[in-house]
């Protein structure tokens, strides 16, 4: 990807102008269960009203089949799924057009179904302790961005629900690109969107193999947060800094911000 900046030889000499997060596990604590049979029971009843006659078992099996097909059919080293495309393919193959025609391309039906599926699988959604104070403190000094392995229909809504969305200047979501972390291209896209160099950014994540390894490959300084989520094996990716919790991140990176 072409950029309009030049990375200095000693990138650690520059103060940070942007802090990038993997929101899940660092700022947002969410629990979901996509395998819950009852989710597909409710979805199958809803879809029946729209001309799609599938049992809960059939719907659940087809959903995971579409997910697996996306992962195995591409050429990416770290493939990502597209929830909208999966639901579109599933509906196209099973809709009874004589009973209830669906305009899958020209309506909001598929995006709404993606959100409905996510909402039914969600078990809990809350902020990590100290998350709100952290983003408010940092956004007053630097630009904030998100680089996340998720679907755009999920993370954008969940940042809004938790009240964090207004603090973020950019967001790079793997589901929009077909590949996920640790692919360095996600980090490069996020940097380009915020118009900062790797030397001017730090990435905060919870998984050494995905977050830390990917960010380091793209030239960013890194912070590993010791939340219960993600791998902490430094053999997969060694962080520059470690924060014991979300609430400690601001103090850990304060020297990088020139404060």
- Give me the torsion for CA of 92, 95, 99, 104, rounded to 10°: -40
Cβ-based neighbour number of residue 68 at 10 Å: 12
pLDDT score for 13? 60
One-character DSSP codes across 155-184: HHHHHHHTT-GGG-SEEEEGGGTTB-TT-H
pLDDT score for 6? 34
213 neighbors 207 (Cβ within 8 angstroms): no
User: In terms of DSSP bridges, do strands 122-127 and 28-32 run parallel, antiparallel, or are they unpaired?
Assistant: antiparallel
Instruction: Give whole-number Cα distances, 236 to 171, 211, 215, in Å.
Output: 25, 10, 12
Q: Does the N-terminal peptide bond of residue 182 adopt cis geometry, omega within 30 degrees of 0?
A: yes
**Token duo for residue 21:** 């997060």
Tell me the three state secondary structure of residue 90: helix
**Token duo for residue 110:** 């598929």
Segment 216-248, tens digit of pLDDT: 999 999 999 999 999 999 999 999 999 999 999
**Token duo for residue 227:** 């939340």
Closest CA to 16 of 231, 235, 217, 215: 215
pLDDT score for 205? 98
pLDDT score for 12? 55
Residue ranges in the chain whose pLDDT is less than 50: 1-10
pLDDT score for 5? 36
Tell me the three state secondary structure of residue 248: helix
> Cα 111 to the chain's mean position, in Å?
17
**Token duo for residue 131:** 């998350």
In 80-200, which ranges are E strands?
122-127, 143-148, 170-173
């Amino acid at each position: 990807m072409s950029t309009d900046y030049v990375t200095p030889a000693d990138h650690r000499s520059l103060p940070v102008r942007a802090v990038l997060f993997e929101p899940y596990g660092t700022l947002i604590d969410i629990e979901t269960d996509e395998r819950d049979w009852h989710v597909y029971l409710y979805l199958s009843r809803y879809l029946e009203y729209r001309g799609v006659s599938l049992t809960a078992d059939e719907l659940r099996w087809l959903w995971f089949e579409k997910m697996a097909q996306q992962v195995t059919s591409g050429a990416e080293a770290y493939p990502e799924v597209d929830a909208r495309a999966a639901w579109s393919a599933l509906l196209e193959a099973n809709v009874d057009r004589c009973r209830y025609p669906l305009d899958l391309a020209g309506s909001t039906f598929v995006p709404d179904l993606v959100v409905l599926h996510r909402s039914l699988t969600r078990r809990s959604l809350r902020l990590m302790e100290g998350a709100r104070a952290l983003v408010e403190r940092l956004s007053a000094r630097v630009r904030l961005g998100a680089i996340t392995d998720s679907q755009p229909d999920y993370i954008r809504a969940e940042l809004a629900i938790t009240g964090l969305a207004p603090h973020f200047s950019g967001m790079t979501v793997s589901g929009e690109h077909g590949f996920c972390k640790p692919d360095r291209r996600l980090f490069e896209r996020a940097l380009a969107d915020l118009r900062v160099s790797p030397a001017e950014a730090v990435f905060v994540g919870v998984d050494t193999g995905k977050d830390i390894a990917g960010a380091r490959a793209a030239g960013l300084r890194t912070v590993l947060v010791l939340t219960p989520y993600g791998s902490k094996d430094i053999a997969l990716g060694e962080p520059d800094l470690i924060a014991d919790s979300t609430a400690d991140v601001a103090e850990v990176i304060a020297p990088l911000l020139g404060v």
